[in-house]
Structure 1
């Protein structure tokens, strides 16, 4: 429809009908206008899958059995693939499943930069690097929206900590803000053409993001000419006037007093009294109608979508497989020989834990979830005996199938230190060590890390340490079996310094969706050659992260981003700080050699890459350059390519213009 036709519809609406469209009348939808053929806009959480159904005005699951969906790898896992096609494919699956469930807006992806490893929602975000985040998120958004579903990119902006997220203010240099954190949003919203964006909970320069004139009016509307819908985070609007005139379009919240929302009766009253021009409301309704028109909600010519299809599950497996990062393989223990495995010991709670029903609003009801132990047993079959011992007592993550934590999420939360995280089970540990001493296992596989007790919305981690005494347990296992395979599953980097030098074999996995356990099993036995690269720095200690050594993190009043441009590897590289594993790191079962690197005048780097090993594999060619303005060296191009054993390929990588000393070397010699 033309702009004029949409505005004609607005002109036909009463003020009450307009007000009904700009605020939630249920927890996940607004009001439509039946007489004009305008349906409700149905939203859903979903960075890792479409969330289950709740009562319209109670945060209690309806416990349906028809809202089970494909559980997708988290955005951090997707980032570890360094694969734009994978990002598009996963976005397309999410969009199709949202449409199949009758949704119009999927609240994803999260594209906040990983400024600190302690942020509880890091698993929902891609990377510490803005370029990598934008390149993948652009494709993710395109994939979602090709299914007639709007992607709602979040959280705009500077939502980099969960501590006091409803009140904390953020301060930094405005030029640096635009060049870094906002640049990611600019690219995803404009190049990805995302139809909507979600305002964050926190404040920026003193004003809440959902009522922030600088962010929503000066930058978003005027500088970027963005014509999409701004949706508040649930409970992110505090002041009717400020939010209305700043450019927020749709207010959503977590309480059931829908008529009392800022954009409900209070907004109607201010319009009636002449304090807010009705044309302000008209613009909001127009943008909502424009989005609906783009989604074919008005002409009813929409795709029907689908969920739980075999192709969706295959995509989940493919992303999971490419995201696994091989951190160490010094003694070439991997890949294991399946024919030699008569008896295996598997240790660790993450070998059997299901992660889909945790993490806060990222939770979903998965049709199925293959954990690593199940994946191993499926792969090896009945000729291999697999013993399992937990090794430690892990507590249970919050589960919303009964009553949801979200009902109280707007209140100030004083997070008490969880003593369970420090609890060490001597009995469980001795059970493991006794088994190792008294049995002749062909292989020992440890599967630990974090879970959604720590990686979750509304909560930041207290430190980078593994909980439940895992460091001591891993170290003790390695004292007896140096060839033990250590697998860690987490949403962000963890400290490994107390045992990493003892370990010869370490695999890393983010929360990897319904096929994660199969992907791990296939990687262990060589059916999948690991090709994942770390999308974030793994620090030796927390103080090596610039958010702590230069800037601030976790404060409850104002957080100052004093580190400026020096985020993640851009800080550690510049200052020569040793790390555990660097950004972009990841081994393979084969090896690759680079030669004949050349740069053309049209911002293209070509290099010949040879697979010098005896296994087919995939390599990611990364291009870095010196940013003369920020004085940091950063990622400006990448391309992932499959190369057969012994094969040579000429790889072409387009890179961002305006950089000096461009090469594949992150730290020039």
Structure 2
């Protein structure tokens, strides 16, 4: 389809058609205004062609209009890299030899950099790879809020705070779309668990919806200019989110002015009338589970296919609905596959590997260090590496985020490159093959044998580096299943305890897209936390451990001591997670598959706006490691802030300048975080909320001034009575610190 269009595109600048001197139709002229082209193309389409635009023709494509030279749309899973090619009509891989790519760090890692410049670099690089692979829509990034550490898909998102997620998603989208590849921000909205994701109805206050779960999506649309949005599987107010009147028509279109396409998650459509009326444009993956199962129906039986066409012909839904959908789809096609100005793209370049490495470097979080780190490379002691994640390829499995990288450096390879023959390795634990919906059991004999060998070798080593955590198997960090426990899996806690008994010089380097219990934390000299780092992950891990890179990552989510310290689990009520069945058996937990319970479950967000650190702060339940926490190999002092005014007036801001001094001997980066607290309000408010942050490089012995401007918008809450944003007069505090629990300076002011 696209190859047929190439000679036409070459003539666009001349305004000529392929037939000679005849003027090109308006919709083909790239010098014409976009909306005029869209309207011209729309009036040329038949009803059948308009409907055909609205649904898939294969697993990852939608049809164009061949009669008019309008090409199809090619989509690919993301956002951590362009997925390997899938068969036209099955979930099997196509077996191509030229679809290997750069694997970029997971979005939790990107969020842990707290650096919008890294986000822009990420979007640019992954966009170039998507363009080279001739993709028009990259299915990502994801900005669902981290509500529970059991959510199997948290690693694809940007943490627990809407300010952090919103600031980080905008540069990604802007740079990605400069390649003529559409971002598809997902999963809109309230997709905060995988258990029963296809049927669970989320009961949440409008205030929590507006303050916690929607702001990052709004920034993606209003500031990022995302060209597409993916609806989520779950329901809200009884309607599936892929055709939800409130979310799509009222908020996305009318309030935010979204002019792009709404695309279903694969298998997310459930009703033709709702899909017709409630803002859905493109239907993908219907009658499958979006991951592994096949459909017995053809694409012409999708809800927005023949059933929709027949409803239109009978006058049961307005003809305007299909015109609106076709208009949005044409606009997307003109922005992407019919955009002759988009660059060619590139694949697996050294620049892309450098971007992946830089993001990984800045994302690793040093949680604890008693001085054992950095581990110098010029020593002579023997270093034992223990742990399955030291060698496991963590780009495999995980669902739609699975990747086929051309180059991957494992943590063991990275350490061997720096420390040479000082490094030896033993696995320590086993976890079976990557599977989606079940765990491959490992025999007790194997568990015991691996542990005994690791302990015996640890006894003789000078230093032990443990590399474990979660992986992409079922019930870990994996689409389709939630975690079954807050503990580390595969008997890792017992292994860590056993290693500590024989060698106290233990460095724990865990890889995970989620928080987990650490009953051994106070006895381990050093703890590092990383998310999935992609192609260059092993090099980043080795460089941080050795001190070649000074760690600067900060946690994008809290790490509670125990699951019950998390707001969603504090009451122990299954109504709050994973949900209960409504009706005759109300109160009973529901059995069922990951996609559809076969029943009518509802989950209630009883914690309301108190998500993550808001809960820990307000309820005075300390986290083991707080949101925003992350140490360095140097230290930073926060000086006395300079404040422009003690009062914030309408239309003016309070300007704060604070000097940050590197008091150590190494250059380092610090993330200065500014939170706002409302001393007295007519509604419940958290103790404080993140409103601004800046990451700055401070040379050893030098100081850098960090400046923030607080505006009236930073003081607002959503008033459910008036259904508007309100800032009440009174006294506020600006908390400036290195994490949500490490506040260095407090600046009071009035409004």
Does the pair score TM above 0.5?
yes
Match of 2:308 among 254, 258, 267: 267
Q: Is structure 2 residue 641 aligned with structure 1 residue 641? A: no
Q: Is structure 2 residue 197 aligned with structure 1 residue 165? A: yes
Provide the residue aligned with 2:515 in structure 1: 493
**TM-score if structure 2 supplies the norm length?**
0.84
Q: Is structure 2 residue 552 aligned with structure 1 residue 508? A: no
Match of 1:552 among 576, 580, 591: 576
Structure 1 residue 395, shift from structure 2 partner:
1.4
1:392-417 deviations in Å (ceiling 9; x for gaps) = 1111213xxxxxx6xxxxxxxxx678
Match of 1:311 among 335, 351, 364: 351
CA distance in 2, matches of 1:630, 1:224: 27
Q: Is structure 2 residue 350 aligned with structure 1 residue 350? A: no
Q: Is structure 2 residue 736 aligned with structure 1 residue 664? A: yes
Provide the residue aligned with 1:653 in structure 2: 708
Provide the residue aligned with 1:529 in structure 2: 550
Structure 1 residue 424, shift from structure 2 partner:
7.3
Please state whether the residue corresponding to 1:514 is helix, strand or coil.
Answer: helix
Provide the residue aligned with 1:235 in structure 2: 267
Provide the residue aligned with 2:644 in structure 1: 600
Q: Is structure 2 residue 321 aligned with structure 1 residue 280? A: yes
Greater RCO (CA < 8 Å, at least 6 residues apart): 1
Structure 1 residue 517, shift from structure 2 partner:
0.4
Provide the residue aligned with 2:284 in structure 1: 252
Structure 1 residue 600, shift from structure 2 partner:
3.1
Q: Structure 1 residues 417, 562: CA separation in 2 closer, same or farther (over 3 Å shift)?
A: farther
Match of 2:502 among 465, 475, 480: 480
Structure 1 residue 599, shift from structure 2 partner:
3.1
After the TM superposition, which of the residue ranges 593-602 and 514-523 deviates more from structure 2?
Answer: 593-602
Provide the residue aligned with 1:62 in structure 2: 94
Cα RMSD (Å)? 1.7
Structure 1 residue 630, shift from structure 2 partner:
4.8
Mapped contact 1:98–1:106 kept (Cα < 8 A): yes
CA distance in 1, matches of 2:187, 2:447: 39
Mapped contact 2:207–2:609 kept (Cα < 8 A): no
The runs of 5 or more residues in structure 2 that have no matched partner are 1-32, 289-293, 580-589, 591-600, 646-652, 716-731, 747-751
Q: 1:137-152 alignment to 2 at 5 Å?
A: 137-152=169-184
Mapped contact 2:230–2:263 kept (Cα < 8 A): yes
CA distance in 2, matches of 1:301, 1:488: 44
CA distance in 2, matches of 1:421, 1:485: 27
CA distance in 2, matches of 1:417, 1:372: 24
CA distance in 2, matches of 1:503, 1:299: 55
CA distance in 1, matches of 2:407, 2:143: 27
Provide the residue aligned with 1:408 in structure 2: none
**TM-score if structure 1 supplies the norm length?**
0.94
Provide the residue aligned with 1:469 in structure 2: 491
1:305-358 deviations in Å (ceiling 9; x for gaps) = 11111101000000000000111111x111112111452211000000101122
Mapped contact 1:595–1:608 kept (Cα < 8 A): yes
Please state whether the residue corresponding to 2:73 is helix, strand or coil.
Answer: coil
Structure 1 residue 277, shift from structure 2 partner:
2.2
CA distance in 2, matches of 1:259, 1:341: 68
Structure 1 residue 204, shift from structure 2 partner:
0.4
Q: Structure 1 residues 388, 656: CA separation in 2 closer, same or farther (over 3 Å shift)?
A: farther
Q: 1:6-155 alignment to 2 at 5 Å?
A: 6-155=38-187
Structure 1 residue 578, shift from structure 2 partner:
2.1
Q: Structure 1 residues 417, 70: CA separation in 2 closer, same or farther (over 3 Å shift)?
A: closer
Please state whether the residue corresponding to 2:640 is helix, strand or coil.
Answer: strand
Please state whether the residue corresponding to 1:527 is helix, strand or coil.
Answer: coil
Q: Structure 1 residues 639, 265: CA separation in 2 closer, same or farther (over 3 Å shift)?
A: same
The runs of 5 or more residues in structure 1 that have no matched partner are 399-404, 406-414
Mapped contact 1:422–1:468 kept (Cα < 8 A): no
Aligned pair count reads: 647
Mapped contact 1:593–1:611 kept (Cα < 8 A): yes
Mapped contact 1:475–1:502 kept (Cα < 8 A): no
Q: Is structure 2 residue 625 aligned with structure 1 residue 585? A: no
Please state whether the residue corresponding to 2:542 is helix, strand or coil.
Answer: helix
Mapped contact 2:431–2:490 kept (Cα < 8 A): yes
CA distance in 1, matches of 2:450, 2:171: 45
Provide the residue aligned with 2:728 in structure 1: none
Q: Is structure 2 residue 333 aligned with structure 1 residue 300? A: no
